[in-house]
Amino acid sequence: MEKATKERFSSLTLLSASERKYPKSPDEAKLESFDNLYADRDYVIEFDCPEYTSLCPVTGQPDFGHIIIRYVPDKRCIESKSLKLYLYSFRNASTFHEESVNTILDAVVKECAPRRAEVIGHFRPRGGIAINVKATYGDPIHE
């Protein structure tokens, strides 16, 4: 690997790790990012996670959802393996749907400081009611 490329990705510890250490909670999980080579233009990055799970903080029963993360990067882009492990960490977390969507948005914003971002959660019905939550940062994302 060329030296400049190696330096560019030197901060990514999870992508190259052959050992998988699954974080036990979102607080323990680590999002990572890398330099955006196209920071001079707007473009949308979308992550689609149809197998999101967390635990109801009252009953302890599992909640299932579909999380979509969309953002317009500035100087940094989220690395997808670290995001996968971060989202996986909610599997053991007791959280309401509204809290998990906002927590994910806060983590993305903190890690890569995007120009705009949104996290959408479509949660499976429990007790006959489905819950959909959308949290945004900055101006709306138009396509």
- Which of these is catalytic: 49, 56, 74, 106? 56
Please check whether residue 126 lies inside any domain of the structure: yes
Structurally, the chain folds into a number of domains equal to 1
112 carries an active-site annotation: no
pTM value is 0.87
- Which of these is catalytic: 63, 74, 112, 139? 63
Please check whether residue 76 lies inside any domain of the structure: yes
Q: What is the CATH number of the domain that holds 68?
A: 3.30.1130.10
In tens, the pLDDT along 49-88 reads 999 999 999 999 999 999 999 999 999 999 999 999 999 9
Please check whether residue 74 lies inside any domain of the structure: yes
Please check whether residue 24 lies inside any domain of the structure: no
With bands split at pLDDT 50, 70 and 90, how would you rate the model's confidence at 130?
very high
Residue range of the domain that includes 130: 40-143
pLDDT of residue 22: 83
Taking residues 88-105, what's their average pLDDT?
96
35 carries an active-site annotation: no
DSSP of the chain, one letter per residue? --HHHHHHTTT--SSS-SS----SSTTT----EEE-TTTTS---EEEEEEEEEEE-TTT--EEEEEEEEEEE-SSEEE-HHHHHHHHHGGGG-B--HHHHHHHHHHHHHHHH--SEEEEEEEEEEETTEEEEEEEEESSPP--
